[in-house]
Amino acid sequence: MLKVYSYSNCGTCHRATRWLRERGIEFEERPIRETPPSMGELETMHAAQKGGLKRLFNTSGRDYREGKIGEKLETISIRDALALLARNGNLVKRPFVIGQGIALVGFDEKAWESALAGRI
């Protein structure tokens, strides 16, 4: 079962979950702010992004900007960066989709179509 971490006021999250429903793909939706992805899920996503740590962050969010996270990413370890994400769902780029053999962050219809082809 896919887990989709999303934010209720996020238009991109709404488009993504609608896209999944239209294709009959079952998923469990979780509120990203209240229940951020676990360290294990973040580690899996990081590996799937081929080391693109910044790609996991909601760089346009207020918490990211006010916390000067971009600057911190230059000096902290990957483990510490993932721990930041696990503690604060506002920092996580959304939607964040994780499941057996699936690790998607953000909504790119072509990438999702390719990644989820076997489930459609």
Instruction: Give the chain's mean pLDDT.
Output: 95
Split into its structural domains, the chain has a count of 1
* Predicted structure pTM score: 0.93
pLDDT at 39 over 70: yes
Which domain covers residue 113, as residue numbers?
Answer: 2-119
pLDDT of residue 50: 85
pLDDT at 51 over 80: no
pLDDT of residue 119: 76
DSSP string covering the chain: -EEEEE-TT-HHHHHHHHHHHHTT--EEEEETTTSPPPHHHHHHHHHHTTT-GGGGB-TTSHHHHHTTHHHHHTTS-HHHHHHHHHH-GGGB-SSEEEETTEEEES--HHHHHHHTGGG-
pLDDT confidence band for 46 (50 / 70 / 90): very high
CATH number where 109 lies: 3.40.30.10
